[in-house]
Chains A and B, each alone.
Chain A
Amino acid sequence: DVKVTQSSRYLVKRTGEKVFLECVQDMDHENMFWYRQDPGLGLRLIYFSYDVKMKEKGDIPEGYSVSREKKERFSLILESASTNQTSMYLCASSGDRGFRETQYFGPGTRLLVL
């Protein structure tokens, strides 16, 4: 079974803090994705990566950065957390056909920024 794990299920941070969300997949997938999920808005893509050290902006990259130093790990960084970044963050991975492949999701991190 493909497994995607996320470092935290729940996180509470203060405005202005630097926040790291980590995601690890165990299926040797080339592609990894970070989404945020908000009620009524579905999933919105923040960033994705198709290879180590490669990244592409998604629909809402502002206020976020990412890092992929190893194939299995994809980190999302909030440089200076703000209250409007309170959300559910989902990580996913997929094989070499990118968006056309099934995406495998982690359980999500619910982030509250106070």
Chain B
Amino acid sequence: AQSVTQPDIHITVSEGASLELRCNYSYGATPYLFWYVQSPGQGLQLLLKYFSGDTLVQGIKGFEAEFKRSQSSFNLRKPSVHWSDAAEYFCAVVIDSNYQLIWGAGTKLIIKP
């Protein structure tokens, strides 16, 4: 069965440091790829998405993600985190064969002052 793996349940980063959140999926073809963020007390919001074209995608709030077909990965990055980035981040993948959206379990980002 297709799956999406976010290997880190929690990540702690100092404010101002760089961030990389990992996402791997199991599927042969190129899927549609999404990163969503859930800030405390708020609904999920799309950060960025990849369907085709340039494999480096820019999103909102200074985030970017890179699709690497050879590694079946779509890792999320930010060069310098802010305290307001503390949230839970979800990777999601649409498999073209049945157009279902498969979600990762999420990574909770904690920011150290």
When distances are taken between beta carbons in the complex, the residues of chain B under 8 Å from A102 are 34, 46, 49
The A-B contact count (CB < 8 A) is: 47
Please determine whether A40 and B105 come into contact, CB atoms closer than 8 angstroms.
Answer: yes
Query: Is there contact, CB below 8 Å, between B43 and A42?
Result: no
**Closest beta carbon of chain B to A54's beta carbon, Å:** 15
Q: Is chain A's interface secondary structure helix, strand, loop, or mixed overall?
A: mixed
A12 at interface (Cβ–Cβ under 8 A)? Answer: no
Nearest CB of chain B from residue A53's CB, rounded to whole Å: 21
Q: Given the complex of chains A and B, what is the CA–CA distance between A15 and B49 in angstroms? A: 40
Judge if B42 is at the interface, Cβ distance under 8 Å: yes
B54 to chain A, nearest CB (A): 18
Contact assessment for B99 and A98 in the assembled complex, using a CB-CB cutoff below 8 Å: yes
B94 and A99 within 8 A (CB) = yes
Category for how many chain B residues contact A: 20 to 34
Q: Is the interface of B mostly helix, strand, loop or mixed?
A: strand
Whether A106 contacts B46 by the Cβ 8 Å rule is: no
Residue of A40, A103, A106 with most chain B CB atoms under a 10 A cut-off: A103
- Tell me which residues across on chain B come within 8 A of A103, comparing CB atoms: 36, 44, 46, 101
Partner of B45, one of A40, A41, A90, A105: A105
Measured CB to CB, the residues of A under 8 A from B are 4, 40-45, 90, 92, 98-100, 102-103, 105-108
Could you pull out 16 A-B pairs where Cβ atoms are within 8 angstroms? A42-B4, A42-B90, A43-B44, A43-B92, A44-B103, A45-B101, A90-B43, A92-B44, A99-B94, A99-B99, A99-B101, A100-B94, A100-B99, A103-B46, A105-B44, A107-B41
